[in-house]
Structure 1
Amino acid sequence: MPLPFAHSLMGYTIAEGASLRLTRSFWLDVLILMVLANLPDIDFLPGYLAGEPNRYHHYQTHSFGFAAIVGALGGLFYWRKRGRFLPYFLLFFTAVSSHLLLDLFTVDSAPPYGMTLFWPLSVQFYDISWDIFGAVHKSDSSRDFFASLFHPANLRVALLELAIMLPIAAFVRTLKFYGAFTRRPATRNSAPALSLEPSMLATARSVAPEIDQLRREAETSDLATHQRAEIKTQPLDLNNIDLEQPEFRNGKNH
């Protein structure tokens, strides 16, 4: 297994390459994806509590089945929040599966060799012989497990991980920056697209009849007001007035 440096940089790279956003803050997205990229190593915890940190390592959590479970949970969360499932499922699934990819290219020096990649369909361990990352020195005892991670040999492992993953992250960042810089700006006459959440659309549809009714009432009221204004402002034609008529004379008729 690589150290958290490689997995965290992979999470950052996924955040840079993804067009989907989990929150309004890019760096919060990075943090979430970094956690997901390191999540399979949570299998150290039950072993650590039992006194043997490596007892359950590379079992169920190091599988595409576990990645699918995490992806489904993330997809359901954002489906309830934003009405979309598949894009978020794929993002969560990819972040967790990236851990398996890096572990495949790591020297595995302790049994069981490999990972149960296809759990729960199969409990067979799978590994490849293309080793890029070095083996991490770690103790089999909970008493000195964390202290063993600071072994001088792990410094070389960490530097190798940074040397491999930093250029990859920088390359993806450069592609994203170049794409944003060269993206054609919108024309002046083009109106920005209005994006509404499904819940907002449903609310708008429900109040649409009431809005139409209010609009019709307002139009009727405006028409009546306009007609009254025309009557009040109608000009008086003095040429058609007969001053000899009784209604226009002072006093009584004789």
Structure 2
Amino acid sequence: MPSPIGHSLAGICGYILVQPHIPKYQRLSCLFTSVFIANAPDLDFLPGIFLQADPGMFHRQATHSLIVAIIVGVLTALIARYLKFKHWNWFGLWTGGLYASHIFLDLMVADDAPPFGVQLFWPLTSDYFILPLTIFGGFNYGGSGLFGFLFSLFSFQNLIFVLQEIVILVPCIWFVWYGQKHLIKKPT
């Protein structure tokens, strides 16, 4: 799976898309929210870490489903509506899209061990799906328990994968920023 850095870069893309529509005093919190939501599906590592077992025990399962991304978007929209957000529906769509960006990136990872991919349509099926074209290396989340997990993150192989993510995703950020700045009509 891509690293938290790769998913954070996708979150930055999501932030750039909405940034012109956010009041200046809320932009920093919106940026942090974007990065958090883009990484949220990987919170499924926590049960494996806390159980002092395999951190990937529950990884790429329910939290990596498009159904869950839709639920996150709908729940966010409902909460935003309850809180009287002016554009609550767009807020829900944005949140669901950020969550789904994580799943989309994970579909493009070259897995080296079965099951390959993510449970894209959980709970409708427990089958795993992966795209035929994989452009990211498999970031290694190994070790057992918290310290084993953290130690595994800082390997040379993972550094190479992070650099690959940066080379692929930073141009995407630039493209979104350029499009937002030069091609899309600004709100009045």
TM > 0.5: yes
Instruction: Find the aligned partners of 1:65 and 1:5 in 2 and give their Cα distance.
Output: 24
Return 5+ residue gaps in structure 1 as ranges: 185-191, 193-254
Looking at both structures, which has the greater relative contact order when contacts are Cα pairs under 8 Å and sequence separation is at least 6? 2
User: Would you say 1:169 and 2:173 are equivalent positions?
Assistant: yes
The within-5 A match list for 1:1-254 is 1-18=1-18, 20-21=21-22, 24-50=25-51, 51-81=53-83, 82=85, 84-142=87-145, 143-179=147-183
The alpha-carbon distance between structure 1 residues 134 and 22, as it changes in their structure 2 partners (threshold 3 A), is farther
Q: Do 1:22 and 1:29's aligned partners in 2 also have CA atoms closer than 8 Å?
A: no
Return 5+ residue gaps in structure 2 as ranges: none
Shift of 1:97: 0.2
Instruction: Find the aligned partners of 2:24 and 2:44 in 1 and give their Cα distance.
Output: 27
Give the number of the structure whose alpha-carbon radius of gyration is greater: 1
Q: Do 1:54 and 1:140's aligned partners in 2 also have CA atoms closer than 8 Å?
A: no
Stretches of 4+ aligned residues off by more than 4 angstroms: none
Shift of 1:83: 5.5
The alpha-carbon distance between structure 1 residues 20 and 96, as it changes in their structure 2 partners (threshold 3 A), is farther
CA RMSD of aligned residues (A): 2.2
Instruction: Find the aligned partners of 2:6 and 2:56 in 1 and give their Cα distance.
Output: 20
Deviations 1:36-57 (A, max 9, x none): 0000000000111122101100
Instruction: Find the aligned partners of 1:176 and 1:87 in 2 and give their Cα distance.
Output: 17
Amino acid in structure 2 at the alignment position of 1:78 = A
Deviations 1:210-251 (A, max 9, x none): xxxxxxxxxxxxxxxxxxxxxxxxxxxxxxxxxxxxxxxxxx
Instruction: Find the aligned partners of 1:62 and 1:183 in 2 and give their Cα distance.
Output: 34
Q: Equivalent pairs: percent with the same residue?
A: 32
Structure richer in helix, relative to its length: 2
Shift of 1:125: 1.1
Deviations 1:89-148 (A, max 9, x none): 211110000001101111111222111111122211111221101111231412411101
Q: Do 2:2 and 2:137's aligned partners in 1 also have CA atoms closer than 8 Å?
A: yes
Amino acid in structure 2 at the alignment position of 1:11 = G
